[in-house]
Chains A and B, each alone.
Chain A
Amino acid sequence: MQSYPHISEKAIELDALLKETEDPRCGALNVFVGTLRDHNEGRDVVAMTYEAHEPLARATLQGLEREVLESFAVHHCRIVHRIGRLALGEASVAIVVRSAHRADAFAGARYAIEELKKRLPVWKQEHYADGTSRYLDGVPLNAEPTP
């Protein structure tokens, strides 16, 4: 079965991710979904455009999935991120972790989202109710001195 794409412009289909990771060995399923909220730093947000460096983003998510599998007692970890323009309430990221017991699924999913925020080459452009937009500040991927 072909695995669900790590990066896609299409709406995230949770059902497909759940089906892909079904496993009778697992008694715990932890799903984290990040959705677009209507406010940020005191401003009314109406939409968000997500942009990725796709080759590096795919490699980063594959690596992070492997890392979760190796670092926690989990059987499955899938991490997918949406790109393009999203409306309020739409899912931008989904993480599915399955393990025998709940503590590992919680820990693995938490690790995945925290690391994703530091490592995934994705940028957000926030669109506001007043018609303006701006790129959000972020986390440097690596900190080397710049000219």
Chain B
Amino acid sequence: MQVQVELYGGLRERVGTNELVLTLEEVESASVSEALEALIAAYPALRGGLSGVAVAIGDALVGRDVVLRDSAAISLLPPVSGG
């Protein structure tokens, strides 16, 4: 399955892109947590960089246990600094 991943703030700088497609082999679904583990495996630059990172789908924050299916799109939101 494939998951579209959108990166914000310093995460984009770490990976060098604001959007990527993550492929998880031989599964039809995966939790957000599993997707993040796969992401770190594919992009070692993110190791240690997902601390305090929230995950959003559309306009809502989601928990790590939410199940993603093929073609899901998630946004990774590092600690915020608006204002």
Contacts and interface: CB of A to CB of B under 8 A. Distances in A.
Interface residues of B, number: 29
Interface in B50-70: 50-54, 56, 58-61, 63-64
Most chain-B Cβ atoms within 10 A of its Cβ — which of A118, A135, A145? A135
A37 interface: no
A125 B9 CA distance: 8
Contacts of A123: 8-10, 78, 80-82
B82 A135 contact: no
A56 to B, nearest CB: 5
A15 B82 CA distance: 22
Contacts of A135: 9-10, 13, 78, 81
A127 interface: no
A100 B20 CA distance: 50
Interface string A123-147: 1110000000001111111111111
Interface string A97-140: 00000000000000001001111111111000000000111111
B64 A122 contact: no
A143 B80 CA distance: 12
B24 interface: no
A143 B79 CA distance: 10
Interface residues of A, number: 37
Contact of B33 (A59, A143, A147): A147
Given A93-B83, A122-B81, A122-B82, A55 B59 contact: yes
Given A123-B8, A145-B64, A147-B40, A138 B79 contact: yes
A136 to B, nearest CB: 5
Interface of A: 34, 50-53, 55-59, 81, 92-93, 113, 116-125, 135-147
Interface of B: 6, 8-10, 13, 33, 36-37, 40, 50-54, 56, 58-61, 63-64, 75, 77-83
